[in-house]
């Protein structure tokens, strides 16, 4: 089962939930793989402290122009949806960071003057954290092609009983790339007006993708009841409520897992998993 932990905004405890769920599942005797797909700022490693065993580059194809063949007709610039290639006078300019590697410019060049060469946009690291298989993607600084690195991380998915995927925050392309194949999405939020606003956007996203989902409320005793009221009104199950406990914040600031530092919270994450499983068994995703 592939469970993505996502959130409409950052700072809502997504990584805390992903790492502690992975740990509690491992304690329950499941084989677990944790995929950190928050490739612009992966931080599961801070808590999992994995031993990295291998690293591999992620590349995308970018166009290169063979000057001798190019007639500066401008067609490549016209077909590029991302303004990554333009023709100025008789020169073709390419902006690699904007290029999505779609291949349209090469396909439509009437002179066959465009070739494609690989360009590194990030790396994927694989390792182990005790019994948990760990993978994280790291997007190179200044790069925009996070979906390519996220896709690379997802390709490493193994045959573990459960794959926990820490998605990037938000509801844009990288998040869609991370969660689109998940069997279940757990949406992390907090009980504040911003938390509610971004939760509504995230709910819209998973509903459009037709993925079963539930909500986890972090620091559930701050703010107001608007998030809970919204979930109740919309028939959305809240499967995890983490209190605003100073001891949790202290453990977090030391880079410690909640279920390690405060074992009493283990039951909370175990119950969360059982409720996810129950929901999923009653409403499996139709792919
Ligand atoms: S489409 Fe081909 S020939 Fe035309 S400007 Fe681009 S590279 Fe040159
Ligand atoms: S590969 Fe696609 S995105 Fe990149 S320059 Fe060509 S048309 Fe634009």
What are the boundaries of each domain within the chain?
2-30+161-282, 59-120
**b/e per residue 23-49 (b: at least 16 CB within 10 A):** bbbbeeebebbbbbbbbbebbbbebbe
Residues of the chain with pLDDT under 50: none
Pairing of strands 184-189, 51-65: unpaired
Nearest CA to ligand 1 atom 4: 73
Q: What is the DSSP letter of 170?
A: S
Cβ contacts of 111 within 8 Å, gap of 6 or more: 69, 70, 71, 73
Q: What's the pTM?
A: 0.89
The answer to whether domain 2-30+161-282 has CATH 3.40.50.300 is yes
4, 7, 10, 11: CA torsion to nearest 10: -90
Nearest ligand (C-alpha, residue 114): 1
For residue 144, how far is its CA from the centre of ligand 1 (angstroms)? 25
Between CA 235 and CA 237 the distance in angstroms is: 6
pLDDT at 63: 96
The CB density around residue 100, as the number of other CB atoms within 10 Å, is: 18
pLDDT at 287: 63
Nearest ligand (C-alpha, residue 92): 1
For residue 71, how far is its CA from the centre of ligand 1 (angstroms)? 6
Q: What is the DSSP letter of 95?
A: -
For residue 191, how far is its CA from the centre of ligand 2 (angstroms)? 42
pLDDT at 8: 85
CB 163 within 8 A of CB 35: yes
pLDDT at 282: 82
Pocket test residue of 77, 113, 115, 116 for ligand 1, highest count of atoms within 8 A of CB:
113
Cβ contacts of 15 within 8 Å, gap of 6 or more: 5, 38, 43, 44, 47, 166
CATH class of 59-120: alpha beta
pLDDT at 252: 87
Between CA 208 and CA 196 the distance in angstroms is: 18
């Amino acid at each position: 089962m592939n469970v993505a932990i996502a959130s409409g905004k950052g700072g809502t405890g997504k990584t805390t939930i992903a790492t502690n769920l992975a740990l509690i599942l491992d304690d329950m005797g499941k084989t677990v793989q944790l995929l950190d797909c928050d490739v612009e700022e992966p931080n599961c490693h801070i808590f999992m402290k994995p031993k990295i065993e291998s690293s591999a580059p992620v590349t995308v194809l970018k166009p290169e122009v063979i000057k001798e063949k190019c007639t500066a007709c401008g067609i490549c610039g016209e077909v590029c949806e991302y303004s990554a290639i333009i023709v100025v006078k008789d020169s073709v300019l390419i902006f690699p960071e904007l290029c999505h590697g779609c291949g349209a410019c090469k396909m439509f060049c009437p002179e066959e003057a465009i070739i494609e060469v690989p360009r590194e946009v990030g790396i994927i690291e694989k390792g182990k954290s005790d019994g948990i298989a760990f993978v994280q993607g790291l997007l190179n600084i200044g790069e925009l092609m996070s979906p390519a690195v996220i896709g690379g991380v997802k390709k490493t998915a193994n045959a573990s009983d459960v794959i926990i995927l820490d998605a990037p925050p938000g509801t844009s392309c990288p998040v869609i790339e991370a969660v689109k194949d998940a069997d279940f999405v757990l949406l992390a939020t907090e009980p504040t007006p911003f938390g509610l606003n971004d939760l509504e956007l995230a709910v819209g996203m998973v509903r459009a993708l037709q993925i079963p989902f539930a909500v986890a409320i972090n620091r559930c005793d701050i703010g107001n009841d608007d998030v809970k009221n919204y979930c109740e009104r919309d028939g959305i199950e809240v499967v995890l409520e983490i209190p605003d406990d100073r001891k949790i914040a202290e453990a977090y600031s030391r880079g410690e897992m909640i279920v390690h530092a405060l074992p009493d919270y283990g039951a909370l994450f175990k119950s969360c998993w059982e409720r996810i499983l129950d929901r999923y068994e009653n409403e499996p995703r139709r792919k």
